[in-house]
Amino acid sequence: MPSIFTRIILGEIPCHKVYQDSHVLAMLDINPIAPGHTLVIPTEPAETLDKLSDDSAAAIGRLLPRLCRAVCKATGCNAYNVLQNNGSGAHQAVMHVHFHIIPKPDPSRGLGIGWPASKLDNAAGTDLAKSIARALAG
Ligand code: AMP
């Protein structure tokens, strides 16, 4: 079952397109939380970022800063967030990788963030960093 984003990429459903090439589509979010809220979507139908190919990741990575500059220029906004949700537990509603570029015109608009910071325990941090590094190498 193709995602709604795949159907948009294929031209089956309309969108407010900002950019498209063979690897990436950028369009306005249909329910923006600030003017200029833009979605950047790989044409590859990976569900979450960890499943995305290196080629698609590179294409998105090359384009994101340019798109951020364009959104800022068009909205006159210098502050913005880039958000990328993975999994329904992390608020992902459309199971096709996408990055949100969300202008922050003032404190009352754009992305609100809960940031429940704690202090990293030194020993636990040492173990965890090693464990992630091992996973990366394996
Ligand atoms: P997420 O919670 O990260 O999966 O966000 C999915 C986003 O896709 C939401 O902000 C929706 O408003 C947006 N969205 C869903 N359907 C469409 C559509 N047809 N066109 C544009 N944006 C959409």
| Per-residue pLDDT in tens (0 to 9) along the chain, 138 residues | 899 999 999 999 999 999 999 999 999 999 999 999 999 999 999 999 999 999 999 999 999 999 999 999 999 999 999 999 999 999 999 999 999 999 999 999 999 999 999 999 999 999 999 999 999 998
Atom 3 in ligand 1: which residue has the minimum CA distance? 92
Extents of the domains making up the chain: 4-137
Q: Is the CB of 90 under 6 A from ligand 1?
A: no
Atom 15 in ligand 1: which residue has the minimum CA distance? 30
Tell me the C-alpha distance between 82 and 128, whole Å. 26
Q: Is the CB of 85 under 6 A from ligand 1?
A: yes
* Burial profile 22-54: b = 16 or more Cβ within 10 angstroms, e = fewer: ebbbbbbbeebbbebbbbbbbbbbeeebeebee
Count the Cβ atoms, other than its own, within 10 Å of residue 15. 20
CATH of domain 4-137: 3.30.428.10
Residues taking part in catalysis: 98
pTM value is: 0.97
Count the Cβ atoms, other than its own, within 10 Å of residue 105. 16
Amino acid (one-letter) located at 66: R
